[in-house]
Amino acid sequence: MNYECADCGGGIHPRRFALGYRVCLTCGDKTARAARTSWCVAPVHKSNYILVTNREELKFINNKGPQ
């Protein structure tokens, strides 16, 4: 069976398709890289680092800075 990528029309390995992926590795990598460009890792005061994916959340992380 030949499975086609939903983005480029290229082939998808049958085992990858069975896992639920509908895009090839190349297109999946491009999509993941585009999503990661909007992520930011920020330190929380006296705590750990957190992954911020929403820019509005970043405004309220530093409670010791200027308000």
DSSP reduced 3-state for 52: strand
pTM, entire model: 0.57
Same domain, 27 and 46: no
- For residue 66, what pLDDT is reported? 55
Per the model's pLDDT, the better-predicted residue between 66 and 19 turns out to be 19
Number of domains comprising the chain: 2
Residues 62 and 42 in one domain: yes
30 and 9 in a common domain: yes
If asked whether residues 30 and 10 sit together in one domain, one would say yes
Q: Quote the domain boundaries for residue 7.
A: 3-36
Q: Do residue 27 and residue 50 come from a single domain?
A: no
Q: How far is CA 31 from CA 8, 9, 19, 28, 57, in A?
A: 12, 15, 18, 5, 23
Dump pLDDT digits (tens) for 5-64: 998 989 999 999 999 999 999 999 998 888 888 778 887 777 788 888 877 877 777 666
pLDDT of residue 27: 93
